[in-house]
Amino acid sequence: MRAARTRLTALAAAGVVAVAVHGGAAQAAAPSVRYDADTTVTDAGGTYFPDSTGLGHRGHVEQGSPAGTIRLIAHGAGKAAKFPAGCMATSCRVIIEAADAPDLDPGSGDVTWGAQVLLQPREVTPGANVLQKGFAQGGAGLYKLQADGGKAGCVMVDTGSTNTTVYRATWATSIADGAWHDLVCRRTGSTLTLTVDGTVRKRVAIAADLGVSNSAPLRLGGKNTKTGNDQFFGALDNAFVQRG
């Protein structure tokens, strides 16, 4: 049992599985998308982070104006994606964006998403979007991981106009302490759960029929590249989405 537990801990630390933590029996991880951020590829279309699952959800680097840049920093045996804290004062903007795809839309099914996040106290901003598909406004619906004010939070909004409630599972303790944290959001039925470093920190009730299915891209580091995009200025690794 100790060996099994150690293995689960290692998997959770890699940001690739949370099912085993919450679901009782262990399940094999099968994310729809994951970015190990160990490398980038640049071609005629620009620079992108390859999808580590092999499913081809390229994470294109998209810059706003003023433009921010993402660089790779050391993390474990590999790298992580560092967003640009050096230009916070000028509201520079840069995100990682993957095109809409059916396996990124969970509908009303269970879904897990998350990332490993490193945030320094000086990088804290009121809005800091880590990972999202969709928007809180306008009916698109949304699943999101954020670090607003340095506090990890999971957010869901139903697609459509009938249920516009914004559901949030936020931990009151700041994670902006200059250390890596493993942040996992999980929707199971009528529950939305935030897990930080393997410990459940917040659990809230959501509408059982809430569904997220939209035409928005998957975005890391901001809601878009426009002014007021809730730019994230920390570092990310192993951002992932997993249905089921």
Q: Work out how close the CB of 24 gets to Ca ion at its nearest, in angstroms, rounded to a whole number.
A: 29
CB 75: neighbour CB atoms within 10 A?
20
From 100, 103, 110, 197, residue interacting with Ca ion (rule: CB under 5 A): 100
For residues 64 to 83, the per-residue mask of contacts with Ca ion, x marking binding by CB under 5 A and - elsewhere, is --------------x-----
Q: Work out how close the CB of 52 gets to Ca ion at its nearest, in angstroms, rounded to a whole number.
A: 9
The window from 30-38, 47-55, 168-176, 223-231 that contacts Ca ion (CB under 5 A) reads 30-38
> Peptide bond before 84: cis, by omega within 30 degrees of 0?
no
d(CA 162, CA 223): 23
From 38, 51, 148, 230, residue interacting with Ca ion (rule: CB under 5 A): 38
Any contact of residue 36 with Ca ion (CB under 5 A)? yes
Cβ nearer to Ca ion, comparing 79 with 201 = 79
Exposure b/e, 163-187, CB count within 10 A at least 16 = b = eeeebbbbbeeebbeeebbbbbbbb
Of the candidates 184, 235, 199, 200, the one whose C-alpha atom is nearest the C-alpha of residue 76 is 235
From 51, 97, 105, 230, residue interacting with Ca ion (rule: CB under 5 A): 105
Q: Is the dihedral of CA 146, 148, 151, 153 positive or negative?
A: negative
Residue nearest to Ca ion (CB): 78
From 37, 81, 115, 152, residue interacting with Ca ion (rule: CB under 5 A): 37
Task: By CB under 5 A, name the binding residues for Ca ion.
Answer: 36-38, 78, 100, 105, 237
